[in-house]
Amino acid sequence: MQLDAEPLLAELAQKIGTLPEDTAVVGIHTGGVWAAEKLHAMLGATLPLGKLAVTLHRDDFSKIGLHPQKKATDMPFDVDGRHILLVDDVLNSGRTLRAALNELFDFGRPASVKLAVLVDRGRRELPFSADYAGATMTLDPSQELVLKNDNNKLRFDIQPKN
């Protein structure tokens, strides 16, 4: 089953509204970066887009190892004292978000961090919540949402969990 993510981006941008001028948009690799690139443009963000790679901060790193296409973190601005809009595709357990915050704080101490996600699955293992969500969706625990980027059009595939 597929779900078009473009309407979720529009809903998310509407909920976020206008960004304060000193706010940086930061996406979590890989799906969060795709969504952040689009939100960055939709919201008229003035600072360059930041990108976080969280692999080395994952609590399951010893089990899964490095991703074969490891991405790098890119913070083209000073994080200290900056307001951050952190973007990811799906919020589920909260473990990716924990890893993202660890990586972000390696670059400095932001003034604030707000979380925007395309889909909130609502199945927390850690005490995190999204400030902005394009949609809330309940799936069977045996299923996962995988964001795909087909010629710069984002869509979710609902598929069995590996």
Q: Could you state, in order of their start, the residue ranges of all structural domains in the chain?
A: 2-62+72-160
Tell me what pLDDT residue 141 has: 87
Supply φ then ψ for residue 20, to 5 degrees: -60, 145
Tell me what pLDDT residue 57 has: 55
CA atoms in the 13 A half-sphere facing the CB of 4: 5
Which residue in 86, 59, 87, 54 sits closest to 70, CA to CA? 54
Which residue in 77, 73, 90, 100 sits closest to 23, CA to CA? 77
pTM for the complete prediction?
0.92
2-62+72-160 to CATH, choices 3.40.250.10, 3.40.50.300, 3.40.50.2020, 2.40.50.180: 3.40.50.2020
DSSP secondary structure string for all residues of 146-162: EEEEETTEEEEEEEE--
pLDDT tens digits, 43-68: 999 999 999 999 865 555 445 444 54
pLDDT tens digits, 70-125: 689 999 999 999 999 999 999 999 999 999 999 999 999 999 999 999 999 988 99
Tell me what pLDDT residue 144 has: 93
